[in-house]
Amino acid sequence: MARTSSIPASRAAKPKLTILLASPRGFCAGVDRAIQIVERALSQFGAPVYVRHEIVHNRFVVESLEAKGAVFVDELHEVPAGAHVIFSAHGVARSVPAEAEKRGLAHIDATCPLVSKVHYEAIRHHEAGRGIILIGHAGHPEVIGTMGQLPDGAVLLVESLADAEKITPGDPARLAYITQTTLSVDDTAAIVAVLRRRFPAISAPRREDICYATTNRQMAVKALAARAEAVVVVGAANSSNSMRLVEVARQAGCVYAALVRGAEDMPWDRLEGFSRLGLTAGASAPEVLVQEVIEACRARYAVTIEDVVVTQEDVHFNLPRSLSA
Ligand code: SF4
């Protein structure tokens, strides 16, 4: 009787996959600082320490901090009197620290300094008598926080090219624009071009509001998209900068781009037949999740890693004085 020999599945040659790994990717200086603030507060004051909203937009980070004693709340009325409360990296409206003071809560601000810079710009323009146009996404915590630096009605929100075409500010000759820090660089440039055409005297930020981390991660994903058949972005659906990375990859011509929370979301079916996968992570996604995706790929493919480095980052923000000792 003829014997058929088949190679056991575990020893069968795996298909080859080159992972083009974006650099920079993942945590930015503002996210790193916000997480350190929660950890430092926990060790300095003991658990529980309350955090208003997700400190950064990533469930893995939030759950890791919960395990250490952080308690995440939606609003300040959920925080017991006398407790410590931390405000998230996205920034808060002025009414929030005011309410914390009124309630006798010890509050610590984890707002990213680059978001605070946008707040100061808004206040400066308002004090100079300019109307303010904020380019951003309605409902995002950063937008709520920035609009909340000024009285209701002082800031007009523009979300799209269509908004920019139809907005009717009170005094078109005295205007300034500011932007959310995590927008698409290219989409924002197109919106700004419309605003400049319609309002030639509009004041611009002294330095770009879209932050270095957002800009660099978008540059890196474009470099991936030019060479990869598919791009996977590790991040959360409520993370603006992560969602922008998916969009930028698609706009750069990548056939398939997807957001995954981690290895468990990998779209294996869609990757079938591809041999070059671009991999990156949003600014609030920890590196451990990227490494888990790589390990999951290794289980299915013979993986080669190629680093695609577009720039080096060397940005660090100090902790608030009350925690830095
Ligand atoms: S993405 Fe930019 S603005 Fe947001 S926390 Fe990071 S550095 Fe700050």
As a whole-number percent, the residues of the chain with pLDDT over 90 amount to: 94
pLDDT mean over 40-47:
97
Give nearest CA residue, ligand 1 atom 2: 211
The whole-number pLDDT of residue 12 equals 72
Catalytic machinery residues:
142
pLDDT tens digits for range 91-136: 999 999 999 999 999 999 999 999 999 999 999 999 999 999 999 9
Nearest atom in ligand 1 to 115's CA: 3
Q: How far is the CA of 193 from the centre of ligand 1 (A)?
A: 24
The encoded tokens of residue 283 equal 């600014």
Query: How many CA atoms, within 13 angstroms, populate the side-chain half-sphere of residue 292?
Result: 16
Nearest atom in ligand 1 to 113's CA: 8
Ligand 1 pocket mutation, candidates 28, 56, 58, 120, criterion most atoms within 8 A of CB? 28
Confidence grade of residue 11 (pLDDT, cut at 50, 70, 90)? low
Q: Pick from 279, 177, 269, 154: which is nearest to 220 by CA?
A: 279
CB 281 within 8 A of CB 216: no
pLDDT tens digits for range 230-259: 999 999 999 999 999 999 999 999 989 999
- Contacts of residues 119-126 at CB distance under 8 Å and 24 or more positions apart, as own/partner, are 119/91, 119/145, 119/146, 119/149, 121/176, 121/178, 121/205, 121/206, 121/209, 122/146, 122/149, 122/150, 122/155, 122/178, 123/149, 123/150, 125/176, 125/178, 125/203, 126/150, 126/154
The whole-number pLDDT of residue 5 equals 46
CB 91 within 8 A of CB 111: yes
Does residue 6 carry a pLDDT above 70?
no
2 vs 257: which has the higher pLDDT? 257
Which residue ranges have their beta carbon within 6 Å of ligand 1? 28-31, 89, 112, 114-115, 181-182, 211, 213-214, 241, 283
Confidence grade of residue 9 (pLDDT, cut at 50, 70, 90)? low
The neighbour count for residue 191, using CB atoms within 10 Å, is: 23
Nearest atom in ligand 1 to 283's CA: 1
The encoded tokens of residue 145 equal 């926080």
Ligand 1 pocket mutation, candidates 146, 179, 180, 182, criterion most atoms within 8 A of CB? 182
Q: Which of 8-12, 40-44, 59-63 has the lowest mean pLDDT?
A: 8-12
pLDDT mean over 267-292:
97
Q: How far is the CA of 14 from the centre of ligand 1 (A)?
A: 39
CB 61 within 8 A of CB 71: no
Q: How far is the CA of 325 from the centre of ligand 1 (A)?
A: 24
Does residue 276 carry a pLDDT above 50?
yes
Does residue 171 carry a pLDDT above 90?
yes
pLDDT mean over 143-147:
98
Cα→Cα distances 116→18, 88, 202, 205, 301, Å = 40, 12, 22, 13, 45
Which CATH number is associated with domain 114-198? 3.40.1010.20
The encoded tokens of residue 272 equal 């079938």
Q: What class does CATH assign to 13-27+212-309?
A: alpha beta
Gap between the Cα atoms of 11 and 62, Å rounded: 39
The architecture that CATH gives domain 29-112 is 3-Layer(aba) Sandwich (3.40)
153 φ/ψ angles, rounded to the nearest 5 degrees: 90, -10
**29-112 matches 114-198 in fold:** no
CB 323 within 8 A of CB 37: yes
Helices marked H in 185-262: 185-198, 212-225, 240-251
Tell me if residue 230 falls in helix, strand or coil. strand
Q: How far is the CA of 25 from the centre of ligand 1 (A)?
A: 12
The whole-number pLDDT of residue 1 equals 40
Instruction: Calculate helix-pair angle for 185-198, 212-225, nearest 10 degrees.
Output: 120
Nearest atom in ligand 1 to 241's CA: 1
Domain residue extents for the chain? 13-27+212-309, 29-112, 114-198
Strand ranges (E), 8-130:
16-23, 49-52, 70-73, 84-87, 106-109
